[in-house]
Chain A
Amino acid sequence: MTLLEASLRAVAALAAFLVLPLLVGQAEHKVMAHMQGRLGPMYAGGFHGWAQLVADGVKFLQKEDITPRAADRWVFRLAPAVALVPYLVALALVPVHPGLAAVDVPGSVVLVLAATSVGALGTLMAGWSSANKYSLIGGLRAAAQLVSYELPIVLAVASVALAGGSLSLLGLADAWSPWWLLWQLPGGLVFLVAAVAELQRPPFDMPIADAELVMGAWTEYTGLRFAFFLLAEYAGIVVMSLLFAVLWLGGWHGPFEDALGWLWTAVKGFGVALVVIWVRVAWPRLREDQLQRLAWLWLVPLALLQLVLTGAGVVMGW
């Protein structure tokens, strides 16, 4: 790989990282609005408020950057970056086209899972360093949620890795066949639910729970750092949706995949992101104990069951 190619790939990954979350965010604005019988943003940019998030970004830029006096300064300032950067790493690993990912490493499944779990660490740091009781409670809730839902995600992905016989996302996407839609369905559902929980999105947004905790771990943040947390949330949706699309929906598989593979990946990923948005609009927030029950009594056993099913399938040669 020449230096030029490497820098091109890096720039492409960065561009996708900066654009795709905004697309998902705008889609959330509009889809949520219409699901509630509203129109959503209509003015910014002229046509149906397409530039609303750009305007929001400009607004965040102008805000004062406040660090509370009692806060643990360095941790407090570092937290948004810790929340944001891992998703950039994860996004660079996602294969988009036959044989093409921005970064292709062996064992990218492991790396992507590791990166997405680091993201939640940013919330924890923010909660701990803010010197605010709401932030602290939010951070601890985030930690509890992370511990509970990391396991189902890993188990569900392990099932796919077992079925595809590879630890590389490219290899897994290559090995995908439509039969997996049924065979890996329980694991897919587990992954989807656990991914929404991992992203701390409604109905699993107890760490933020604005009615109880103001804004959870983000309470003390202003301006650009707060915007980074928001960007991390939407980048997380992008990463998780693309992962789901690649592992369970076949990524680039579809008609004319040699030419249109990237489009199929994008369409499937966007569809999953729409489901994540839809779920946010439709369902109320779970209670903290319901959250833990769901993880340990339903998702983990279901993921283990899926693992057994996959193992049996692999041994019998389905």
Chain B
Amino acid sequence: MSENEAPDDPRGRGGVPGVLKGLATTARTALRPSHTAEYPDVAPTLPPRSRGVIALLEENCTSCMLCARECPDWCIYIDSHKETVPATTEGGRDRQRNVLDRFAIDFSLCMYCGICIEVCPFDALFWSPQFEYAETDIRDLLHEKDRLGGWMASVPPPPALDEKAAEPGEVAAVNRPARGAGARAAGAAARPPRTVRPRVVRGEEGT
């Protein structure tokens, strides 16, 4: 104790011996709220854009395989088949569309890099902050399509844009006046949509 106060001792500078400083520090810490997170009892406050689990919005997926091919550890499995959509107009051509059979992410391999979400051109994959999906069997970490879709409920709305940020591209495109609107005036409003969303014809192979 007192032998610590030798003249060449850097400790205890500023008139307060180090031992008293130690007591003061611990007393001050004791009077402050503790840092312990009581996790299972109290839900943690996660930062925005937390990477918990990857959710799939199945309707947006076109089975393009971009995510599966970009995945660094190949943990995304996609199976799909083509279906023929009959022509909507008389004499038109039948079209084909991809139907998703299987979409699975193996979270025992996933390294949460988020590349699949970045590359998806159709906004079918999202980060969800939900992280409580530990399993006792590693094989149960392979989340199939329905389970991945279930995570969509926990995907938070995207954070608000900064105050002076540019308008998002989708909004800008909608708000932009149609090309040549000034020349054609009011008649342009009745213009039919350029593309028609094909509808899936079901029940062909079932019966």
Point out residues on A near B: beta carbons under 8 Å.
Answer: 31, 33-39, 42, 193, 278-279, 281-283, 290, 293-294, 297-298
Contact = CB atoms under 8 A, between A and B. Distances in A.
A282 B22 contact: yes
Interface of B: 1-3, 19, 22-23, 25-27, 29-30, 32, 34-36, 38
A212 to B, nearest CB: 20
Given A278-B23, A282-B25, A283-B19, A38 B2 contact: no
Contacts of B35: 37-38
B124 to A, nearest CB: 43
Given A283-B19, A293-B3, A38 B34 contact: yes
A163 B4 CA distance: 33
A39 B22 contact: no
Contacts, number: 45
A34 B29 CA distance: 7
A38 B23 CA distance: 17
Contacts of B3: 290, 293-294, 297-298
| 5 interchain residue pairs of minimum CB distance | A282-B22, A35-B26, A39-B36, A35-B30, A34-B30
Given A294-B3, A298-B1, A298-B2, A35 B22 contact: no
Contacts of B19: 282-283
Nearest to B28: A35
A39 B34 CA distance: 6
23 contacts: A31-B30, A34-B29, A34-B30, A35-B26, A35-B27, A36-B26, A37-B29, A37-B32, A37-B35, A38-B34, A38-B36, A39-B36, A42-B38, A278-B26, A279-B23, A281-B26, A282-B22, A282-B23, A282-B25, A293-B3, A294-B3, A298-B1, A298-B3
